[in-house]
Amino acid sequence: MVLIAVAGMPGSGKSLAVEFFVRKGFERVYFGGIVVEETKKRFGSVSETKERETREALRKEHGMAAMAILSEPKLRKLVDSGKSVVIDDLMSWQELTFMREKFPDMILLVLFSSPKTRYTRLAVRKERPLAKGESAERDKSEIENLHKGGTLAMADYTIINETTKEELERELQAFFEAVSK
């Protein structure tokens, strides 16, 4: 059993990394899914602005570790059953400290890409594309309001993702082999 949390700024390749681990047989727990579902309940539809408002409201209601707290029962059940799990998009410092307390063997994998690279990717992604200004505003919000910087700084492993999907796959495979021993 391996528990991996994937973190990074928007457009850094988190979704590709999570898909890689799912193909390897990992169960996926999507922290952001809580936000999407709650946004639909609150507003009836999803947009970047509505998601941000919901994300920040959930954290105001449950604290900065909200997504980890709300996901912990599902994670516990999967881990206790011996399944390997990948957490999609761990964000705040408080989520990280909560998860380290509850799951001390969790491995934090951070994907890093420059803002220029990320903003280019985000502008052309199929789901919810973002203009450069929207991407920069989201970065600012995640760093200032969601305390994401500390999480990124405390990675157990960091993969620099500035080139191709194929290169990212090679890096992920090497990481997978290292942690699966």
Which amino acid appears at position 59 of this protein?
A: R
Distance between first and last Cα of the chain: 11
| Phi, psi (rounded to 5 degrees) for 88 | -90, 110
Provide CB contacts within 8 A for 9, sequence distance 6+. Answer: 112, 113, 115, 118, 139, 142, 148, 152
Burial 25-63 (b: 16+ CB within 10 A, else e): ebbebbbeebbeebbeeeeeebebebbbebbeebbeeee
- Range of weakest confidence among 4-13, 51-60, 159-168: 51-60
> pLDDT value at position 128?
81
Q: Are 88 and 17 in contact (CB under 8 A)?
A: no
Kindly state the tokens that stand for 97.
Answer: 């400290």
Taking residues 49-73, report their average pLDDT. Answer: 92
**Any idea what the Cα angle at residue 75 is, between residues 71 and 80, rounded to 5°?**
155
Kindly state the tokens that stand for 107.
Answer: 């491995």
Return the CATH number of 3-179, one of 3.40.30.10, 3.40.50.300, 3.10.180.10, 1.20.1090.10: 3.40.50.300
Higher pLDDT, 91 or 48: 91
> pLDDT value at position 56?
85
Over the chain, what is the mean pLDDT?
94
> pLDDT value at position 155?
97
Taking residues 89-117, report their average pLDDT. Answer: 96
pLDDT tens digits for range 137-176: 999 988 998 789 999 999 999 999 999 999 999 999 999 9
> pLDDT value at position 9?
97
Taking residues 57-79, report their average pLDDT. Answer: 94
How far apart (Å, rounded) are the C-alpha atoms in residues 66 and 57?
Answer: 10
Q: Is the pLDDT assigned to residue 126 strictly greater than 90? A: no
> pLDDT value at position 127?
82
- Residue extents of the structural domains in the chain: 3-179
> pLDDT value at position 89?
84
Higher pLDDT, 30 or 147: 30
